[in-house]
Amino acid sequence: MDSTFEDVPRRLRPTLQMLLKKCHDDERIRSAWLEGSLAQRSADDWSDIDLHLAVREPEAFDAIEWLDSQVHLVLADAIPGLRGSFICLTSTWIQVDVNVHSSESPLPSCGSRRVLLVRDAPIPDMPSAVPPRGQPFFPAQDVQIFLYFLGKTIASVHRGDLIALSQATAMMRDRLLVNLLLAENGIPSGTINKRIGDQLGDEQMQCLQEIPPFGLGEPSLREAQQKLAAAYLSRARRLAGKCAAAWPLELEEATKKLWLHELQMAW
């Protein structure tokens, strides 16, 4: 049982201490634990509190009422698709996600667990989850998608559809380029939900930072895409060579010719 929270960020500590007392005072709660960044000891002041409760008769346990009786909530709603899970925000904008389980059911598996309260059978702490790392790999489908989007943006330019152009540019940066950087480190993109920057090196972060900002102006969007294309494709080619992977040369050449003919731009 953890009651000191000395390693917990100061902003979250009073709320956690309140939750721990609330759990102790309610006999319906047989065990309580934390998951997420607080369990992994990597939380900061703006992390969520991912609280799990094993209770008797979970169908009769009103998690929102239980929490709201102690701290004023400005948002409280069920999380779609997750039975017994609720997202809550306090008036000081601290997010508490409450997850209710049956005390008679097997404990759900998780990457890491930090035990707060045990009334029945002991609950072991789980080791912190570390995103799986392996050998660098070549994201062949992503590379094709990147080149496809480069070509499709020509239509958005000619149509004057700057919103579509902006959305495509953001996706190419925030998903495709980031996924490529993770692939360089041997990390599948689907294994990370938050704090992706923690998995990237300084040079990789600099690569992202060198992509110029863009709004809804066509010149800024063209410049951002040109920089994106140069950064992405040079890194992807290098990674393909390292992984002995096939390169989509014909698609690249066709896309280059389209840009040169329609925009008088190269990368």
Eight-state DSSP code of residue 213: P
Please write the tens of the pLDDT for every residue from 189-243. 766 656 787 889 999 999 999 999 998 888 999 999 999 999 999 999 999 999 9
219: nearest Cα among 208, 231, 227: 227
- Are residues 67 and 76 in contact, defined by beta-carbon separation less than 8 angstroms? yes
| CATH number belonging to domain 140-263 | 1.20.120
Eight-state DSSP code of residue 175: I
| CATH number belonging to domain 13-118 | 3.30.460.10
Query: What average pLDDT does this structure show over 44-59?
Result: 94
Eight-state DSSP code of residue 173: I
Residue 24 corresponds to which tokens in the numbers above? 């102790």
Instruction: Calculate the average pLDDT of the chain.
Output: 90
Q: What is the pTM of this model?
A: 0.69
All structural domains of the chain with their residue ranges: 13-118, 140-263
Give one DSSP letter per residue of 108-147, joined into a string.
PP-S-BEEEEESSS--PPBPPP-----S----HHHHHHHH
Is residue 130 pLDDT above 60, yes or no? no
The number of C-alpha atoms within 13 Å of 17 and in the hemisphere containing its C-beta is 11
Q: What is the pLDDT of residue 259?
A: 93
Q: What pLDDT band is residue 36 in, cutting at 50, 70 and 90?
A: confident
Query: What average pLDDT does this structure show over 148-164?
Result: 93
Q: What is the pLDDT of residue 107?
A: 74
Is residue 3 pLDDT above 60, yes or no? no
d(CA 52, CA 38): 12
